[in-house]
C-alpha cells in the first residue's frame, strides 16, 4: 500500500461512505486520513466508523489517520412569525435579544455574545452572504442594521461576522462532549472550527493533553490577523475555503491560501487545503477542468494534504473522487516543474538542532542522489522536520509508536511504519536498510540516509545522520 505521491488525501466520511467495504475501497484508492465531521455525526456513529477504520488498518498493516472535526459555534437568527421575509436594499432591520418571532422589521438573535460585540460599521452576513447588512447603532441588547444586499431571510439562517471578534470560546458544550468522546476513542487529530485566536487552540490542547494533535481551521478574518500566533501553537492548519470565502471577498482567498501554505511550510506544520476541490463530483463521475487545476495548484504549492468533503461524504461517486484526486496528485508530482517549484519555496532552517539535522539530511540525500531518507522517530517530530525540508526522495519514518505513525499520515512525503525501536546503532542501520528494501524504497546496492536520535526512544533528540548501503543478502529481515 505504498503511495506513489507526497501529498496526502483526506476523505470525509458520511452517508455515502459508512460501510466497511466502501472504506476499504477509499483507502485502496488513496485516502490516507479519514475525517469524521461532528456536525453530522453522533457519538455512536463516530465510534462505529473508528472501529471499522482500525480493523482496516490491522488488515493492511498500514497506519491510517483519523481526524474528528468539531462543529464549533453555529450562529443563527431566530424564527419568523409568518414565514420568510424579503429585505429590500436600504431598509432598516433590527437584530435583538427579544425571543418573540420576527417580522419584516426585526428578528431575534439568540447570541448575547454577538450583540455585546457588535459595533457601528460592522458587517453582518446572513445565509452565507446572500443578505448583507451593516450595523448603524448597537447596544448590548439591540443592533439596528441597514440592508446593503437585498434578499430573503427565513428561520434559523446562519450568521457570519467578518468584522466582529467574539470574546467567548470557540468550543460549545456540544464540542466539549464530542471532544471527550473522540479522545476516549483514540483519534489522531482534532480539528477546531471557527478559530479566531491562539487561545481557541490552546483550550483544546489543554483538554487533549497530547492524546491527539490539534488542527486549527482558518475560516475567519480574525484568524488571519493573528495567523503566526495560531500557526505557532497549532499542530497543523486547514485552509477552510468555504467559510473563509463567505466572510472575506472571494478574490482574496487564493492569495490567503498561498500565504497560509507557505507560512506553515516555513514553520514546519502540516497544512490541508479544503472545500469544493472536486465539488462537481458530488453528482458527476468526472470533475471540471477548473477543479482539476484547483487540486493541482494545491499540490504545486506543496500543501501536505488535500481534502474531499461532500464528494466522499454524501456524493454519488466517492470512490471516483478519491481516485481522481490521487491521479491528479501523481501526475502533478511527475511534472518536470514540480521539483523546481517545491525547491524554490524552501525556507532557511530554524536555528535549532533538529532543524539543522533535517536540513543537512536533505542536502546530503539530494547531493548524493540517495534513494530514500529513513527517519527513526519516537514522537513523529523528526518525520515532520524532514517533511518541512521537502526532499526530492521519499521519507520512510520508522517508529515504535502507533500514535506517532497515525499522525504522520498527514505529513507531506512521509511513509510511516510501525516497528520495534532500534537496540543500537548497528541494529538501526541494518533494519533501516531491510525495511527500505522490503517497502520498495530502495533496491540492492542502493544507498540511503538514516537520521535518528541517541539515546534511542528519546523524543526530540535528533542528533545523528548515517549513510548506508542496502545489501541484498542483509535486506531480507527487519
Q: Where in the chain is the domain with CATH 3.40.1380.20?
A: 353-474
In the structure, what pLDDT confidence band is assigned to residue 458 with cuts at 50, 70 and 90? low
Helix (H) or strand (E) holding 231: helix 227-233
- To the query of whether residue 76 is one of the catalytic residues in this protein, the response is yes
| pLDDT (0 to 100) of residue 462 | 78
The stretch 121-140 carries a mean pLDDT of 95
**Which is the catalytic residue, given 25, 54, 76, 226?**
76
- To the query of whether residue 20 is one of the catalytic residues in this protein, the response is no
Q: Please check whether the domain covering 85-160 is classified as CATH 2.40.50.140.
A: no
| pLDDT (0 to 100) of residue 477 | 45
Give 474's Cβ-side CA count (13 Å radius). Answer: 14
Q: Where in the chain is the domain with CATH 2.40.33.10?
A: 85-160
pLDDT value at 428 more than 70: yes
- To the query of whether residue 217 is one of the catalytic residues in this protein, the response is yes
| pLDDT (0 to 100) of residue 471 | 86
Q: At what angle do helices 173-184 and 43-60 cross, to 10 degrees?
A: 30
- To the query of whether residue 275 is one of the catalytic residues in this protein, the response is yes
Q: Please check whether the domain covering 353-474 is classified as CATH 1.10.10.10.
A: no
Q: Where in the chain is the domain with CATH 3.20.20.60?
A: 8-72+170-336
Contacts (Cβ under 8 Å, ≥6 apart) of 304: 7, 8, 236, 264, 270, 271, 272, 387, 410, 411, 412
pLDDT digits (tens, 9 = 90+) for 15-56: 999 999 999 999 999 999 999 999 999 999 999 999 999 999
Q: Which residue has the cell 532552517?
A: 349
Q: Please check whether the domain covering 8-72+170-336 is classified as CATH 3.20.20.60.
A: yes
**Which is the catalytic residue, given 123, 261, 275, 382?**
275
The stretch 90-106 carries a mean pLDDT of 97
According to DSSP, the β-strands at 65-69 and 189-192 are parallel
pLDDT digits (tens, 9 = 90+) for 309-330: 999 999 999 999 999 999 999 9
**Which is the catalytic residue, given 106, 217, 265, 385?**
217
**Which is the catalytic residue, given 35, 106, 132, 407?**
35
Amino acid at each position: 500500500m505504498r503511495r506513489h505521491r507526497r501529498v496526502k488525501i483526506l476523505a470525509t466520511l458520511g452517508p455515502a461512505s459508512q460501510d466497511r467495504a466502501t472504506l476499504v475501497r477509499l483507502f485502496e484508492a488513496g485516502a490516507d486520513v479519514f475525517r469524521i465531521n461532528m456536525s453530522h455525526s453522533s457519538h455512536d456513529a463516530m465510534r462505529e466508523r473508528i472501529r471499522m477504520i482500525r480493523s482496516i488498518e490491522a488488515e493492511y498493516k498500514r497506519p491510517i489517520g483519523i481526524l474528528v472535526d468539531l462543529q464549533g459555534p453555529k450562529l443563527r437568527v431566530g424564527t419568523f412569525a409568518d414565514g420568510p421575509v424579503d429585505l429590500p436594499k436600504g431598509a432598516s432591520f433590527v437584530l435583538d435579544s427579544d425571543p418573540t418571532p420576527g417580522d419584516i422589521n426585526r428578528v431575534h438573535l439568540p447570541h448575547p455574545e454577538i450583540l455585546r460585540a457588535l459595533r457601528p460599521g460592522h458587517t453582518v452576513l446572513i445565509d452565507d452572504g446572500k443578505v448583507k447588512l451593516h450595523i448603524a447603532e448597537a447596544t448590548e441588547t439591540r443592533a439596528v442594521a441597514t440592508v446593503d444586499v437585498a434578499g430573503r431571510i427565513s428561520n434559523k439562517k446562519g450568521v457570519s461576522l467578518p468584522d466582529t471578534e467574539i470574546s467567548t470560546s470557540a468550543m460549545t458544550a456540544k464540542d466539549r462532549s464530542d471532544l471527550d468522546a473522540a479522545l476516549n476513542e483514540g483519534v489522531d487529530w482534532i480539528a477546531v472550527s471557527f478559530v479566531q485566536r491562539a487561545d481557541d487552540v490552546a483550550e483544546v490542547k489543554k483538554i487533549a493533553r497530547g492524546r491527539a494533535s490539534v488542527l486549527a481551521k482558518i475560516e475567519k478574518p480574525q484568524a488571519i490577523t493573528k495567523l503566526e500566533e495560531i500557526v505557532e501553537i497549532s499542530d497543523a492548519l486547514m485552509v477552510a475555503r468555504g467559510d473563509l470565502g463567505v466572510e472575506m471577498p472571494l478574490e482574496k482567498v487564493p492569495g490567503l491560501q498561498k500565504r497560509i501554505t507557505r507560512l506553515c511550510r516555513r514553520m514546519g506544520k502540516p497544512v490541508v487545503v479544503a472545500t469544493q476541490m472536486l465539488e462537481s463530483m458530488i453528482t458527476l463521475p468526472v470533475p471540471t477542468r477548473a477543479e482539476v487545476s484547483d487540486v493541482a495548484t494545491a499540490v504545486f504549492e506543496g500543501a501536505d494534504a488535500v481534502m474531499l468533503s461532500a464528494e466522499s461524504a454524501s456524493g454519488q461517486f466517492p470512490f471516483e473522487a478519491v481516485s481522481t484526486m490521487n491521479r491528479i496528485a501523481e501526475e502533478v508530482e511527475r511534472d518536470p516543474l514540480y521539483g523546481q517549484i517545491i525547491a524554490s519555496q524552501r525556507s532557511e532552517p530554524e536555528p535549532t538542532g533538529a532543524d539543522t539535522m533535517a536540513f543537512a539530511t536533505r542536502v546530503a540525500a539530494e547531493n548524493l542522489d540517495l534513494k530514500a531518507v529513513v527517519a527513526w522517530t519516537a514522537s513523529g517530530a523528526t518525520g515532520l522536520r524532514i517533511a518541512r525540508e521537502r526532499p526530492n526522495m521519499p521519507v520512510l519514518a520508522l517508529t515504535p509508536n502507533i500514535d506517532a505513525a497515525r499522525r504522520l499520515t498527514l505529513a507531506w512525503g512521509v511513509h510511516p511504519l510501525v516497528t520495534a525501536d532500534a537496540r543500537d546503532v548497528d541494529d538501526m542501520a541494518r533494519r533501516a536498510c531491510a525495511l527500505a528494501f522490503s517497502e520498495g524504497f530502495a533496491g540492492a546496492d542502493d544507498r540511503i540516509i538514516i537520521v535518528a536520535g541517541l539515546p534511542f526512544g528519546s523524543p526530540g533528540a535528533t542528533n545523528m545522520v548515517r549513510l548506508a548501503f542496502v545489501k541484498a543478502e542483509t535486506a531480507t529481515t527487519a
